[in-house]
Each structure stands twice: as C-alpha cells, then as structure tokens.
A = this chain, B = another copy of it.
C-alpha cells in the first residue's frame, strides 16, 4: 500500500510546502520512504529517501523544490534489499522523446511481468521493480502528438489495481482503475486543485473535498480546471481492506465514511456473534471503531483495553532474546484495571497470520482476563492478494488452512467469531462495491 498526493496551482510557485503537509496527512499509508517531484518551469526536480515525511524533507530540501506543480508519495515497503531501498521509492521521474514526466502510483499491475517482458524483448532496460516504470515506458512509446492519447492507450493495456498521478510539463493527470480498487479524491484549496489517496490529506492542508476520481476515469487538471478525458468504469470493486484497515477513519471513499462503515460492521458483528462479557475493547488502532460499534449494539460497556506506544521508528535496536519474548508487549500494553477479572471481548479488524492475535490473547490472560472472546470485523482471510494489498501467500494465512474452530483453538481464545462476508458487505453503503478476493477468491481481475 502507498499514499499519493498532488497539487497544481495558478499562482503559488512553491507548492511543495503544501504537498509536504498533504503527505503528512496520509503518512499512515506508508512509513518506509517518501518522495516528491516538482515542476519548476519545465524542469522536473525531485527528492526521495527512506524515512517518514518529516525526516526525508528537511527545510532545505523543501526550499529547493520550487514550482507550481508537485506530486508526492509515501510507501510501506520498497521490495528490494535494505541497502538501497530508495531505488524503488517514488516518484518515478523519466525523460523521453516528448519531454519529461513524473509518476506516483498506488496499486499493483497484474500484467506487469508480461508487459515488461514484451518491452524487454524490444530491448528495454529496467532500473527498478516499480510498476510505474512499465507505465511510463508505455506512455513514452505511445506518445506521438498527444500525451492524452498515449495515456489512454496505456490504460488500455495495463490491468490491475491502480490510482496514479502523472505530472507533465503543464498538466497533472490522474487515473483510477476501472474497478476503482484504490481510492483517489479531488480537492480544492482556494482556486487550486489537490489530489489525495484519502480525503484526510485534504484536512491537513485546509482543502475542500470536491469528489472522487471515478473508477475508470482519467482526468487532466491544468490551468483551466479539471477535465474528464475518459471514463470506462466497470462495477466498482474497492479493496475491502481500505475500509477495514488501511484508511484513516475520518476519510471518505467514494462518499462513504470509513468511520460509519466500521461502526456498522461492529454492530453487525455483535448481532452475528453475540457473547456474554463484561467489557468490549478494540485492538489499536484499526479495531477501535468496530469495537465501539460492537459495544453500542451489544450494550456491553466499551473500554480502552490496550494502550499502543505511539513512538514509531525505522531504527529500533535488535531486541535481545528476553525482550523478544515480550512479543507484542513492546508496543501494546493492556490496561490491567480493565482486564483483570473481566470477561473481555476483543474486537480486531482482521486476522492475517494469526501471530499477533495469539500473543494478544495470552497477554490478556496473563493480565487477569477471566475470558477472552475474539471478534473479527472481517471474514477469514483465505487467499493471497496479487492486487496490491500485500497479503502474504496462502501458506502464511492462518485461515487458509484452518477452520474457525481450529483457529479458535490455535489462538487459545474462549471463543472466536468472524463477521460473515454478507454481513460485512451489508454494513457498507454500496454492499456489492468491494473486491472480496482475499475472503472468497472472487477477484475482479485474473492473475497473470
């Protein structure tokens, strides 16, 4: 997963200072590396580096990134060795026959390898593992008279999940795949336009949400405003994990409140998997909202049950054996007063490998919980995702090989309940507007 942000201004010649705060607002979408490209009177300058936004972009870096247009990126991982991970950081900046372009991309192109192979057959070289390198190369090949045509041709070839922003000499293009698997919203800051993976990025810079880039839509923003170039949507199939886990609860995606969706799924979870208990707690941070919903519906009091240490960083020292045994306690600590002697319902957003939830059950018991009931606000994750969610392959998915009761036993919970896929879907405004591939294998796009 990653986060993208862009801005084009009429008069502000130093928009990198705003994109900086926009990226800060979507920092939760990627903490490994950050980058930004600006168009400084036709010259594309850029900087990207490992680290959080405020670590990467020091004042002097931002001071030098001048221009009326800028696009930026935050990323969770870079898919390459640690010694040089910046190679797969974004934006990707290239020059070609018709000029230069910078590109930021969130998603996964499923025919990346095939397209790459075709281009390699034609003699192309690649300098990263970025999907965007294929996209940029296609645009360069197709660009004769019109870059719009080139982008349209490129969109005709690539398959997969994507939201991307492309910055050229005088225009910003943004596109979302026909299933709208990845979010991308349009905002306005005064007279100027901004683009953000999530609407919470607008809040940080004071922009107003205008609308989402529609699934299948390609837009151009220049000094004349926003223009739709193409719109070929299939039925929207947003990645369900955007709602369940990735997005910040104050974001809207396609008009749907992440917070309200999570509350509703928590309520439905309570209806589907009732259990008698003393308190409902949430696994911080992404289980909290569903836990509040569960508590409301069940009438069992909601309480803070686990405190999360907020100080994150890339560079922790190697834990020694005795610290390693602490497991989740390094970052997650139960509120013993709420746990001790209580029958606890712990609501989490999802279970992937099952390691953390097992440690958490043990931790709650160690701190005196009389019973620990696990409630999961998403169905069992059974399938590897090749469309950008980065779930591991199936041998690492606990629900791929075990039934719910087996998992319950394995994690040593008193009870375990998942929301049904139908229940989750019905908690949404657009019940059928989601990709459910990782739950039931029903991917809108086949693997290649």
- A-to-B contact residues, CB < 8 Å: 14, 17-18, 20-21, 24-25, 27-28, 31, 43, 45-47, 52-55, 57-59, 61-62, 64-65, 81-84, 92-97, 117, 120-127, 133, 136-137, 140-142, 200, 203-206, 248-250, 252, 257, 259-260, 285, 288-289, 292, 296, 301-304, 307, 309-313, 315-320, 322-323, 325-326, 329-330, 333-338
Roughly how many angstroms separate A121 CA and B96 CA in the complex, as a whole number? 9
- What 6 A-B pairs have minimum CB-CB distances, sorted nearest first? A123-B141, A97-B120, A54-B313, A257-B337, A94-B125, A203-B333
Smallest distance from the beta carbon of A337 to chain B beta carbons, Å?
A: 4
- CB < 8 Å: which of B205, B248, B312 contacts A323? B205
In the complex with contacts A204-B330, A259-B335, A96-B125 CB distance below 8 A: yes
- Closest approach, in angstroms, between the C-beta of A123 and any C-beta of chain B? 3
Across the interface, do B24 and A311 meet the contact criterion of CB distance under 8 Å? Answer: yes
Whether B302 contacts A292 by the Cβ 8 Å rule is yes
* Residue of B whose beta carbon sits closest to that of A28: B310
Oligomer copy total: 4
Contact check, B205 vs A337: say whether CB atoms are below 8 A apart: no
Complex CA distance for A30 and B200, rounded to whole angstroms: 28
Q: Which of B43, B59, B84, B123 contacts A317 (CB 8 A)?
A: B59
Collect the chain B residues with CB atoms within 8 Å of residue A302's CB. Answer: 292, 302
- Shortest CB-to-CB span from A370 to chain B, Å, is 18
> Told that A54-B316, A55-B313, A124-B124 touch, could you supply 7 new A-B pairs with CB distance under 8 A?
A52-B311, A54-B315, A64-B83, A95-B126, A97-B121, A200-B333, A310-B312
Please tell me if the beta carbons of B250 and A334 are within 8 angstroms of each other in the complex. yes
A21 to B330, CA, bound (A): 7
Contacts of A43 in B (CB 8 A): 81
